[in-house]
Every structure is written in C-alpha cells, then in structure tokens.
Amino acid sequence: MPDRRRAKEIVFQAVVAILTFSTIAPLLHIIFSVFVEGLPVLIKGGISFLTDTLAPPSDGLGGIGPAIVGTFVLIALSSLMGLPIALMTGIYSAEYPRSIIGRAAKILLQIMMEFPTILVGLFVMELLVIPMGSYSALAGAFALAVIMMPYVAISTEEALKEIPRSYREAAFSLGLSRAQVVFRVLIKMAKRGTLTGILVGMAKVAGETAPLLFTAGGSERIYFRGLNRPIGAIPLLIYQLVQQPYDNYHQIAWGASLLLMLIFLGIFIPTRLLLREVKF
C-alpha cells in the first residue's frame, strides 16, 4: 500500500474515533456534572430535601416534596388516561394493517411522536385550563397522555406483529374469537414489547417540561390539593429555578436534576434489560 493511502487510512480512523467520542462525550459530562453538583445538595438536604417544601430565596435548601409527589401523580394519571387508548389503537393497527384506519393511524402516530410538545401544552390550555379557570393536575396529565400515546401504541403494534403467524393460526384453530385470540394469547406473547413501550412512554413523560408550563401550573409550597388544582413536577420546578437569580435556587435545581435523572434511569435501565431479551 502506498504511503499516502496508508496515511489517509490512519487519519480517517482517528477522525471517526474522535467524532464518535464527541457524540457521547456531552452525555458523560452531563452525568458527571449532575452528580458533582447535585449529590452534595442531596446529602446536605437529607431526607427533608425529599419531603419539605421550597425554601425562600437565599435561605437554605428546603425541599422539593410537592414536585416529587406531583411528578408521580402526573405519571399515574397520564398512564390511566393514555394507556388504554394507546393499547387499543396499537392492537387495531396490528390486527387490521390493511384497513384505512389502521394505516392512517400508523402515520398519525408517527406524526404525533414528532409533534412539538409545547404545542400540546398550548392546546390543552385552550381546551381545559381556560374553561376550568385554573391550571390543574387533570390538564397536565391530559397533555402528558397525548404525548405518551404514540410511543405505547407504536411499540404495541410492532410487538404484536412480530409474533409468528403460526401462533395466531393455532389460537384461531382452537375456536377462539378474535378478541380472545388477541387478549388471551397474543398480548401475553407480546408482553415484553408492550411493556417496553409503556415504560418508554412513562420515562418520556416523567421528564417532560414544555407541555406542563401552561397546564400543570406548578406548585412548590403546597402538596397535592386535588385533580382540579395546580400541581408541581420536578422538570417544571427545575426550569423555574434555573431562571431565578438566587444561588440556593440553582443548588436546589441541581439536586432536583439528579433526582430526575435517577428516576429516568430507574425506568430506562429495566427497559433496556427487557428489550435485550425480546426474542421469539
């Protein structure tokens, strides 16, 4: 091999390796920063950081209890609203892939997955917040449900379609109705894929900020007050605190970020483990 070709080869491989590292380097630095800045806050704040309400400006750490509770309430509520619709839509597209609704639904879900989430927030504000006269847990959860739906529906559809035809035929030959085939046989076989989609959807909405800005409204100092009252959420709290000029608020924001990252990884890691085993 002539020297010039060899030199080019070496430079090329070096560039590819460097660029690849640059792709994931920010993630490593983000995880590092969040731990370095957030961990001391969690240690210093202790348990009360998880249970107390927000401190006044420039006066200690207080806690982010209402936001933590809010995040879990919102995940639960949005799952309650979004999952049934998403699962059924996914089943429909998988069972009737050639029907007009089935095909259109697939395209629509793809579009919804890419739809800017802030616009969903705007939509829900006009639809629920203004008629109800107040920000509310209900509005926040509905916005999150709309965002969660496409993730769950698409993965349900894909999981169902991966099941070999022979299983479906065997189930039908037992004389089961289509509903029985789907709910008693296929869904159970597609359990992992479906569950993965549900977890991805939950991880996604746990970290969403933009759709909550004009729907959930935030609540830093008061715990859950009811479905029709404003509610806090960790991402929303971080967004608000970062924009404040107070040092202690920035610290609280880092602590909250670490917590949010742990919640996210807590959902993400099991999902990854599930996914690797998805094989027939």
Partner 1 sequence: MIIRDKFKIALIPFSALVFGIFALILIIFFANSIQIFEKEGLAIYTTSRWLASEDPSLEFYGVLPAIYGSLYTSGIAILIALPLSVAYSVFVVDYAPRRIKEWLIIATDIMTGLPTIIYGIWGAFFLVPFVKKYLMEPLYENFSFIPLFSYPPSTGHSFLSGGILLGIMVTPFAAAIIREAYRTIPYTYREAVYALGATKYEATRVLIGYIKPAILAGLVLAFGRAIGETVAVSLVIGNTFNISPSLFAPGYTISSLIANQFGNAFIYEHMVSALFAAGLSLSFIGLAVNLLVFRMLRRWEHARS
Residue among 41, 55, 74, 120 that touches partner 1 (CB under 8 A): 120
CA 95 to CA 89: how far, in whole Å? 10
The answer to whether the beta carbons of residues 161 and 90 sit under 8 Å apart is: no
Binding to partner 1 by residue 266, rule CB under 8 A? no
Binding to partner 1 by residue 235, rule CB under 8 A? yes
* Beta carbon nearer to partner 1, 69 or 237: 237
Q: Tell me how many residues contact partner 1 (CB under 8 A).
A: 87
* Beta carbon nearer to partner 1, 47 or 129: 129
Instruction: Tell me the β-bridge partners of 62.
Output: 54
* Beta carbon nearer to partner 1, 115 or 224: 115
Binding to partner 1 by residue 174, rule CB under 8 A? no
What radius of gyration, in Å, describes the C-alpha atoms of the chain?
23
Q: How far is the CB of 240 from partner 1 (least distance, A)?
A: 10
CA 199 to CA 159: how far, in whole Å? 14
Q: How far is the CB of 120 from partner 1 (least distance, A)?
A: 7
Binding to partner 1 (CB under 8 A): which residues in 9-48?
A: 9, 12-13, 15-17, 19-20, 22-24, 26-30, 33-34, 37
| Closest to 157 (Cα-Cα) out of 146, 149, 169 | 149
The answer to whether the beta carbons of residues 154 and 90 sit under 8 Å apart is: yes
The answer to whether the beta carbons of residues 209 and 235 sit under 8 Å apart is: yes
Going residue by residue from 46 to 85, which x/- string records binding to partner 1, judged by CB under 8 A? --------------------------------------xx
Instruction: Tell me the β-bridge partners of 217.
Output: 231
Q: Given phi > 0 = left and psi -120 to 50 = alpha, else beta, which region is 175?
A: left
Residue 149 in tokens: 């739906």
| Closest to 37 (Cα-Cα) out of 264, 263, 266, 252 | 252
Residue among 61, 206, 231, 252 that touches partner 1 (CB under 8 A): 206
* Beta carbon nearer to partner 1, 47 or 100: 100
Residue among 39, 76, 80, 101 that touches partner 1 (CB under 8 A): 101
Binding to partner 1 by residue 265, rule CB under 8 A? yes
Binding to partner 1 (CB under 8 A): which residues in 183-202?
A: 200
Task: Identify the three-state secondary structure at position 45.
Answer: helix
* Beta carbon nearer to partner 1, 47 or 84: 84
